[in-house]
Amino acid sequence: MGKRAKNTWIIITLTLIISMFLYGCSKEKNPLENSNKVQVGETAAIEDKKIFDENIDNLSAWITYWDLDVNGEVKSLDKQLKEVSYFAAYFDSNNELIMPQQLVDYYNRTKDEDYTKYLTIVNDKINSDGTSSLKDIELLKTLLTDSILRSKHVKDIIRLASQYGFNGIEIDYEQIKDDMELWNNYLLFIKELYGECNGVGLKLRVILEPNIPFDALEFIEGPTYVMMCYNLHGGYSEPGEKANLQFIKELMDKMERVPGSKNFAIATGGFNWASDGKVTSLSEVEAKDLVKEYSAKEERDNKSQCIVFKYTDEDGIEHEVWYADKNTLNSWMQVIKEKGYGISLWRLGGNAFH
């Protein structure tokens, strides 16, 4: 090989070595283009990830005084969560409204959070001896039949909500069923309460059950009416889903005669039916724990999009579980969103949300 050829070869070799060195350095400092896209996509997915579909942008949810381990879920919902109902104030043995201390403490810790805060009032009565009467109809008759007592009840509610600085009031009085006299007094109560709320700048939500006599009732325009789209199956029935799309659509059709703003509530969790007749409610997390414990096989029900599984416990008792996960809730939300209605979630606590 001649001297010129040797020099040429040395130059080529050095050029290759330098190029490889520079390429190696650039690779350490700047990942390959394809890797960059993956990492950016993954980062974006983490930053922009929403628990529910993008078009669900105005969600309400309940937080209950007996299950306040919800900070992770609230954080996960982030800006999708616009309203929170603090559940609940109830009545003592003297028919006076009280808030459980756990709820007061939680409210005080969260009252500066950036969502609208409602105080939920329920017709539950807790007596001084520890006994209780849930969904107490006699209590409602006492509070609402007499015009003076009804006016006092309205003012008591306003006073309690204003004392703590809530943005709104939510009335969840249940089991009136077909008692038309009580319904008439209840509607008078809602009208009077709405007028008082307007006077002090409080919003009003009114919870309605699926079995109410829609055709016989005339609701006023003004409050937001929230229909409970659950309890299709439960402790009183054979195994099945809390709701399905047909059930929700039927309730939306019934609610067309109700004026003003309408909202539809769907439920998390589910139920566990045992062959010995015992039925227990359970959260999504509890359901997933059972799947893991008993190596159960899960299936998704096409009609409701709920998850179903069966197992036999250590005592030989057979179980059938139906529960809702994120995909179930999304499917229910979409049919409500398509009609332009608001969505409420009963409830936070015990949800996996992933």
The closest of 299, 327, 325 to 311, measured between CA atoms, is 299
**Length reported for the chain:** 354
The domain that contains 127 carries what CATH number? 3.20.20.80
pLDDT at 241: 98
Give the residue ranges of DSSP H helices in 201-348.
245-254, 284-294, 326-337
Domain contains 182: yes
Digit-by-digit pLDDT tens for the chain (354 residues) are 444 444 444 444 444 443 443 334 333 333 223 332 222 233 233 334 689 999 999 999 999 999 999 999 999 999 999 999 999 999 999 999 999 999 999 999 999 999 999 999 999 999 989 899 999 999 999 999 999 999 999 999 999 999 999 999 999 999 999 999 999 999 999 999 999 999 999 999 999 999 999 999 999 999 999 999 999 999 999 999 999 999 999 999 999 999 999 999 999 999 999 999 999 999 999 999 999 999 999 999 999 999 999 999 999 999 999 999 999 999 999 999 999 999 999 999 999 986
Based on the structure, what is the number of domains in the chain? 1
pLDDT at 49: 64
Domain contains 68: yes
Domain contains 118: yes
Please count the CA atoms within 13 angstroms of the CA of 249 that sit on its side-chain side: 8
Domain contains 122: yes
pLDDT at 38: 26
Spatial CB neighbours of 274, under 8 Å, sequence gap ≥ 6 = 280, 317, 318, 319
Domain contains 313: no
For residues 212 and 217, give the distance between their C-alpha atoms in angstroms, rounded to a whole number. Answer: 9
Domain contains 150: yes
Domain contains 323: no
Please count the CA atoms within 13 angstroms of the CA of 284 that sit on its side-chain side: 20
Range of the domain at 215: 58-228
- The pTM assigned to this predicted structure is 0.86
Domain contains 134: yes
Cα distances from 335 to residues 51, 225, 255, 328, in angstroms, run 17, 18, 15, 12
For residues 82 and 69, give the distance between their C-alpha atoms in angstroms, rounded to a whole number. Answer: 19
